[in-house]
Amino acid sequence: MINVALPKGRLGEKVYAMFAAAGYECPSILENNRKLIFENEAAGVRYFWVKPSDVAIYVERGAADIGVAGKDILLEYRPDVYELLDLNLGRCRMAVAAKKDFRDDTEKTLRVATKFTRIAREYYAGLGRDIDIIHLNGSIEIAPILGLSDVIVDIVETGKTLLENNLEPVETIVPISARLIANKASFKFNASTIEAIAEGLKGQIKYD
Ligand code: PRP
């Protein structure tokens, strides 16, 4: 039985559809919206829904053999897992954004509000820019409006959230998408099974 951690939510439903189309169906998963664990013994898979940002923890510690996590989470937390495949789903980008009239004064320490402190630190270290990180857990877009920060580092998908809060993207740091990840020990012991799943999913990736 291969244990699969799926990110709960819209992205996870798309990911499950890929698994199902690849031959790893588990119809009960679509019927019950409170249960968190589903299994199809015949197909050899057990799925569980977890918070998207927790998928990598389950996989790293071996509670799940494989899972699907955003590249943002992999870059931020660096879990010790194998990254097997880019599913080309959940595409967005990690970006720096600021108020429309913001002008950067490079003489001053830049105040950066973000959930992704490691990504932000590494990005500005690469630029040799001194920053002051303000770690927030959500509604990051408010920080520059209230003068809490000069810029934010956050996920931009359509750009609507920035636009509606009078912010604009300044720089793209890295493109983001959903990745199939595997626990290192599980991958060693179940290589052929996990590779077959990855191969099946590969055939379901949609490119535009
Ligand atoms: C992300 C991000 C932005 C929004 C961007 O939040 O933090 O708020 O999406 O999307 P847009 O460019 O299409 O407007 P998410 O919905 O992932 O939830 P979060 O608030 O928990 O970060």
> Which amino acid residue places its CA nearest to atom 22 of ligand 1?
138
pLDDT digits (tens, 9 = 90+) for 37-90: 999 999 999 999 999 999 999 999 999 999 999 999 999 999 999 999 999 999
Dist CA 27 CA 40 (whole Å): 8
**How far is CA 66 from each of CA 9, 19, 80, 163, rounded to the nearest angstrom?**
18, 12, 13, 37
Q: Which atom of ligand 1 is nearest to the CA of 164?
A: 14
pTM strictly above 0.85: yes
pLDDT digits (tens, 9 = 90+) for 81-123: 999 999 999 999 999 999 999 999 999 999 999 999 999 999 9
% of residues, the chain, pLDDT over 90 = 94
pLDDT band at 33 (very low <50, low <70, confident <90, very high): confident
How close is the Cα of 154 to the center of ligand 1, in Å?
A: 8
Please state whether beta strands 131-135 and 45-50 pair in parallel, antiparallel, or not at all (unpaired): unpaired
How close is the Cα of 63 to the center of ligand 1, in Å?
A: 28
